[in-house]
Each structure stands twice: as C-alpha cells, then as structure tokens.
Structure 1
Amino acid sequence: IEPRDSFLDFVDHETIREFSHQIRENGVDLRLGAAIDRVEDAGEHIEVSLANGRHVRSEMLLFAAGRLGATARLNLKAVGLETDHRGRIEVDRATYQTAVPHIYATGDVIGHPSLASTSLQQGRIAACHAMDTPTLKESPWFPYGIYSVPEISTCGMSEQDMQQRGIPYEVGIGRFRETSRGNIMGLEHGMVKMLVSLKTRRVLGVQIVGEGATELIHIAQAVLNLKGTVDYFVENTFNYPTLAEAYKIAGLDAFNRMPIPEAFKVKIPVDKTAQAPETAKNG
C-alpha cells in the first residue's frame, strides 16, 4: 500500500514497470495512490481501511516509513553539531568531516545513498583523512542493489536523468530469455537496460531487473567508471552460457540503433569511367 502513484522514484521508470509486472505475476497486489485511513487489530487478522473505501485484510502488517539517523542519544549539541528533521548530520562529502573538523560521520546517519557498500567506502575515506594518510578517492559511479524478488540493481543515470540533462541518448535492451542461460534456467522475465550517449558513445547508465541483478551490475560499474563505450560490449566475448550475455545483447541492440561510425561505413567505389548522360537539347 503506497499513498503515492509510484515508488522507488530514483530508479529508471521503465525498470520499475518491468519489476511491477513481475511481482504482480508472483501474486503481489500493489495498491498505489491509496492513502491509509486507519489500521485495526481484529484479533484473527489486521484490517487496513483505505481512504478510497477499500479494505485490506492480512495476518500481519509491516509498516515501513523510511529511516531516521540514530543520533538522538548522542547529545550532539554538546559538541556544537546539529541534525536535520530526520536526525541526519551534514558533512563535507570529500572528507566526511562534520562542522566540527575533528568529528567525522559516515553511513546512514549522513543520508543519501544510505547503503552498506558506500558506508564502508566512506569510512575508509574518513579514517584516512583523520590519520592524514593519502588514499584513493571514491569512484564516481556506485551500484544500488534492491534485494527484492526479483532483484533490482542500477548504476549510473536513469532515462529520466538523461532527459533532464538534455543528453541525446539511445537505449539497448537485453532480455534474459534471449540468453541460453536464461533458457536453461527457465527464465521468462529479467532484462538489462543500457543507456548510451549518442555524442560520445559512452555507457552512462545500466539498469537490471531479474535473477542475480545485484551481481551482474558490477560489469556496468567497471565500464562506467573506466568511461567505456558501447563498443566494449560489441567487441568483447562473454562466457557461454551466462546471464551476462544479456549485456552483449543490450550493447548490440543500442549499437544497431545508433548512427554508424564513419570507420564502419561501407565505402562505395565511384566508377570514374562512367559518363554523365547527355543533356537533351531543345528544338
């Protein structure tokens, strides 16, 4: 049950539509745009009354309203630090120093992206800076992993990001059922979506929904951070049979939709011996 008309708005919208289709086929009933009027414990079941007059009954209710920074008991005001309305601390994102230079904060308590993976990287940067030890900076692109069934994982820009920034782009789709491994596993759903700049041919975003998405996304992460192009997926061979072949399919799909590079255009030889037809004379 979600009061808004959408969910996971930071994920590419087409990816969410694919995900929604799959979970509905798995028996999940999505009630979007449905505000909750009241929740009652009826003894043998929980009853949720919606503002639109509908009712939902279930054995159990999970209430998920986001996260708050666990800072209330830290007495941060005593050291001169403030938090926002969700208990989050503002930091310098290059060093993770707070407004008090010798105090650092990383992880969920500083807000976005609130991932265990990025929190570990933030801790490394903060510790090295605190100890005045030079270290490698964080990579600009990191993966998101949503451990739902099916999984969702993304790295880089979404289609909406590309449109907002005015970047001309092309899309390539590789579906798991198009791979031999997908056929072996009996997968009817799942896909890799690749977003490619028409100007530079660079891969600027990849979204995956389906089996093993959170593992497969690391191929995209490497290519994005190394500023790779769609040509990488056309040129390179992937193990057979694997779901990673969906990258090859998506890359070829995008490649075939894009303008042909000058180096790959077929040169048609000009026959210099051919004579132009004579112009008809009047009268």
Structure 2
Amino acid sequence: MGRGDPTDAEWERLRPFLPVGNGRCGRWRDHRQVINRIPHWVRTGVRWRDLPERFGPWKTVCERHRLWSGDGTWERLLQQVRGAADAEGEIDWDISVDSTIVHAHQHAAGARTDPSPEPSAREGRKGETPGRDTVTKFRRPPGGGGAGGEGLGRSRGGFTSKLHLSGDGRCRPLSLIVAPGRRADCTQFIAVLEKIRVPRRGAGRPRVKPGSLAAGKAYGNGPVRKHLRRRGIRHTIPERSDSQAARPRKGSRGGRPPGFDKDRRKKRNTVERPINRLKQFRAVATRYDKRGYVILDTATAAALAVRLRM
C-alpha cells in the first residue's frame, strides 16, 4: 500500500457501495487497484500520463474517473458513506456555508462546445423551446449545476472557478457546487442547500434540512433570509451595512432587525476547516480540468477521502 492509499478499514467502509459492473465497459478492472490511483492523482495533481508505473495504464485511471464523474458515481458513493455516518450519529447538523476561489490553470480553458441537434418541426415553431444539446458520452451537466457553462470566469484573481460548499459541525463537507469565480456567493446559496441529501438506512426520504445554519455577510440579503424562513431553518447571518442603512429610510416597511446569535456565530469557522482539508488536494486547489462536472467530482472524490479518514 502506497502513501495516501485507502487503508483496509477505509476500504471496507467504501466497498459495499461500489458499482458491480457497467455494460459499456464490460468487466471492471479491480476496483481497489483503480481507486488507489485516483486519490494519488487528486492529491498530487500530476498529469495523467505522469502517474507512476506501479498504478498501471494511466488511461484506465483517467477514463474511470471521468466515467464516474459523468454518471454520478462519486456523488452516490459520498452520499452512501454520509448515510452510514449519519446512522451512527457522526454528522452534526449545525451547518455553515461558504465558498473558496479555485485558480484555473491554462489547461482548464478550451472545452469544446457540444453541437446542437437539428430542431424538429415542433421545436421550430415560434415560441417553442429549442432542442437541447446532443447527449455526450458523459451526461452530467457542465458546471456541476452551477450557472456559467463550465464554471469558469474572470474575477479579481484572474481565470477562476468558485467552490461553494456547506460543512457540518464536525468540519466535513455536506454539499459542493462549482460556479464561475465572478459569481456572488448569495447566487449559489439555494443550490448549495438543495444539494444536501443524506440517505437514511431502511425506508424513508433522505435528510435535506439542517438543524441550524451560519453564514457570512455575503449571504445576508433578503431572498436568502426569505428562503430560510420559508423552510423553517434557524440561521445566524450578520446584517449587511447597506441593509442597516436602508431600514430607517423605509420606515415601517423596513421591518425589524434580524435576530443574531453571537455564540452560534463563533462556530462558523467549522466551514473553513473542510475548505482547508479539500485544498490539501492539489487537483482541487488548482483546476486543471476543462469540464465543470469533472472538477466538481474531483472535489467530491477529495471530500470522500476526507469523510473516510474522520
């Protein structure tokens, strides 16, 4: 076993949830042999062709990672591991939300645009929705559900993506979203909350609602607070200075100042620690992938490694 490879105990936690086969790929190569290679690449960020020879053919590792990113296997594995952890009481549902900038390497640019199919007679009518792009080999939408194509954009830091995430009270990621670096944090807040899905053992719907939530001033606008009140989620978000200044001008329409729990606010740093842990993986700290769904599931594979080692 090489440095950083999953231990026997971690492998036993992961093994029951691995897929048993796939019609397109025929017979799987040994899962453990391949899974040992992918964390090495995520941790070091080397080119696929530069993987050590002891890992075998680099193309097998690359295709497996992209295939599992495309069909959502990494996300399902992480959800199942989270479900087992929640059943054992290992998830603290007092969550925090934040984001971090991921600088994009020059190799992350230049993703090809999928050609659109010929519109049908119905789609060609005035007012009808045009046809969707052709289905590519990997079906996951670009950008991992975030707006902005492949999740790339120009910001103050240059060519960047932004990783939005929620973390539980024990400093482990609960949900991940990739968006362009120029997008404001509050625009992805609802998407981050909707991404929280922790399966339950046996019958029952997945848990999607946190016990409480803390976030920074970037999330202190009206739509975010309205969404949290509608879902009945207790939250601690400091009020922005422009909102404070606007209240006296609005008079009775300005409403009352939102509640604020200083003690709960002190726990908001629990989301900074999973960010630091994820950025220990060099393929997450710097984006090398052209496709948004691949960088999203690269971060998901890193979050899975963090979850297994806690």
Q: Considering fraction of residues, name the structure with more helix.
A: 2
Task: Please tell me whether Structure 1 or Structure 2 has the larger radius of gyration of its CA atoms.
Answer: 1
Shorter-chain-normalised TM-score: which range? under 0.3
TM-score after normalising by structure 2: 0.26
TM-score after normalising by structure 1: 0.28
